[in-house]
Chains A and B, each alone.
Chain A
Amino acid sequence: MKKWFYLILFFPVVVACQKDLKDDRKPMEVNVSFRPVSGNEPLEFGKTYINALGEDLTVTTFKFYLHNIRIGNYTLGNEDHYLADFNASPVFTVSGVVPESRYTEMSFIIGVDSVRNFSGAQTGALDPLHGMFWTWNSGYIMAKLEGHSSFASTPGNMVEYHIGGFSGEQNVIKKITLPLPAYTPQPGQPLSITVNADIMKWFGGESNISIAENPVCMTPGELAVKIAGNYYNMFSIETE
């Protein structure tokens, strides 16, 4: 008799303490995949592309930091920062479970949270071993695009855009919001979203970036802010 008494007594506590969604809606799995492209085609490392100014570019490296990846108001994934490294894998995916609903937008922040740029030694995606931390001017490289171009007058015709800066006028950390195309949630089916990241957008947009004039950007400052202003617009959601 006593056993049942305690069971009934503690049952609401157990149910209330569950960390499940405080929601009547069903859970819905979401996969957001970032894919590098050049204009209308998937980006291939080692292949040559032409930018809006007619300059050729062969890409060898493309990666950037993301955090706070959200569907509506719900954050996806368990890590606080992600490094989308397309040299490591052709697609970068973050997954999560959100209440089932017809969400109209998704968002994420491109870059590393400003505080993490001056809090000392970091690990995981923010480990300096990933080559995305300036050792002589402490701070993260938020986005990196490297390659070669016949228009680059640098040694080895190298093109190197290391875009960083986290404070004041040098800040390039930005929240990107993308409208989601309409969809109907299907029971038991994950919502899969593909976000294209178009490297061509680095060269045109708010400012025109010419490889001939600026084959390299290695420090925070005006040029980095200009290039970042362009690449904020490189994301688009792939529609079937």
Chain B
Amino acid sequence: MGRKYRILVWIVVAGGIFFACTKSDKQKAPTPMSLSYPLGWPEPVYDFSGNPLTKEGFELGRRLFYDGKLSRDGNFPCASCHQQFAAFATYDHDYSHGFDNQFTTRNAPGLFNLIWMTNFHWDGGINHIEVQPLAPITAENEMAETIENVIAKLKADPKYPGMFAKAFGDGEIDSRKMLLALAQFMGAMISSNSKYDKVMAGKDQFTYDQQQGYEVFKAKCASCHAEPLFTDGSYRNNGLIKNPFTNDVGRMNITGRSEDSLKFKVPSLRNVFLTFPYMHDGRFRTVTDVLNHYSDGITDSPTLDPLLKNKIPLTPEDKFYLLEFLRTLTDTAFVSDKRFSEQGEN
């Protein structure tokens, strides 16, 4: 009886060693990563359910974001138009530079808080964060590449196969994995640490001027630029004359409906002082220009937003205080967060 028992124990131990050793040949599971955002914010639209957020996925997405390989001539990574110090907009540019000395046809928006958006781009043509990168990658005047070529370059790169395996397990690199990694990186970019946020959390106080500005903001701006995201995500005609060079009709390009003519997505005002110039075509250089447009410049048209029929009356004091308040939306921690920066070669 004792001898049979001992043999059984050895069999179990040997089996354990066998399985432990074979398991180490498989890829280690990626490390889950968590995101935090302030209490009281709405539920994100993108919940990573089909694309669990992991350290390896995030780092792969980050490398892809800064990699010129995703463009035809290597000169146009995502980061060439989406610059961290400009809250991931293009600093000081109405249109951005693309392949072969071409320009884009719309102003690059800042990238942050994307997981709260249902659609992307000024006309909302992109219906899911995961498929957004396909547009600039394949646009002839932007990154000018084909998905096929990008995947081939990634497969031939010394670093990517290992990074893809660590993030998504064994198997071929394909467009889906690349897009999931980019979605993890971009989805993790949350801007919620401005002075405004600290005040809302009870950790700081507005100055007198900032508080006055906040009151004006709530009364005159918040119907469209609603807190805490500083946009309600809707498409509106805010009284801009149609751009005579691009003839951009905005949302109507996507829905085909005439009632959507000249409607563009309400952008978030977070980091607004970093993302000049303003509007879908960058026609306004300064925030003051924008305020003057709302107080005096609105052009009527059949699709003009009802809230702007009488413009937005703003006194010079209102405008001064608003500027002070809007400055509190600059999130220095976000734009200097090394986790979202290009990493050194490693």
Q: Which residues of A contact B (CB under 8 A)?
A: 117-123, 127-129, 133, 135-139, 170, 219-222
Query: Given known contacts A121-B176, A121-B180, A129-B175, is B131 in contact with A138 (CB within 8 Å)?
Result: yes
A-B contact pairs, 11 of them (CB 8 A): A119-B50, A120-B50, A120-B183, A121-B128, A121-B131, A122-B176, A127-B174, A129-B174, A135-B139, A137-B125, A220-B256
Measured CB to CB, the closest approach of chain A to B301, in angstroms, equals 22
Is B147 part of the contact surface with A, judged by Cβ < 8 Å? yes
> What is the minimal beta-carbon distance from B181 to any residue of chain A, in angstroms?
10
A contact residues around B151 at 8 Å (CB): 129
Which A residues lie within 8 Å of B241 (CB)?
none
Secondary structure call for the A interface: loop
A123, B135: Cβ atoms closer than 8 Å: no
Residues of A within 8 A of B180 (CB): 121
Alpha-carbon distance between A118 and B45 when the two chains are bound, in angstroms: 13
Q: Find out whether the CB atom of A123 lies under 8 angstroms from the CB atom of B128.
A: no
Binary CB contact string for chain B from 135 to 156 against chain A (1 if under 8 A, 0 otherwise): 1011100000011100100000
Interface contact A136-B147, CB-CB below 8 Å = no
Question: Do B127 and A138 have beta carbons less than 8 Å apart?
Answer: yes
Give the tally of cross-chain contacts (CB within 8 A). 66
* 6 closest Cβ pairs, A-B complex: A120-B130, A121-B179, A121-B130, A135-B134, A138-B127, A120-B128
Q: How far is the CA of A129 from the CA of B51 in the complex (A)?
A: 20
User: Do residues B176 and A135 form an inter-chain contact, with CB atoms below 8 A?
Assistant: no
- Chain A residues contacting B226 (CB-CB under 8 Å) are none
CA of A133 to CA of B126, assembled, Å: 12
The docked-state distance in angstroms from the alpha carbon of A164 to that of B180 is 24
Nearest residue, chain A, Cβ from B172: A123
The smallest beta-carbon distance between A87 and chain B, in angstroms, is 14
Bound complex: CA A117 to CA B130 (Å): 12
The answer to whether A138 and B125 have CB atoms under 8 Å apart is yes
Query: Are B131 and A135 interface neighbours, CB within 8 A?
Result: yes
Contacts A135-B138, A135-B139, A136-B135 known; A118 to B127 CB distance under 8 Å? yes
The answer for the CA separation of A220 and B127 in the assembled complex, in Å, is 15
User: Which of A118, A123, A138, A219 sits near B256, CB closer than 8 Å?
Assistant: A219
Look across to chain B and name the residue whose beta carbon is closest to the beta carbon of A123: B176
Question: Which A residues are in CB contact (< 8 Å) with B139?
Answer: 135-136
Give bound CA distance, A137 to B137, whole Å. Answer: 14
Contacts of B51 in A (CB 8 A): 120
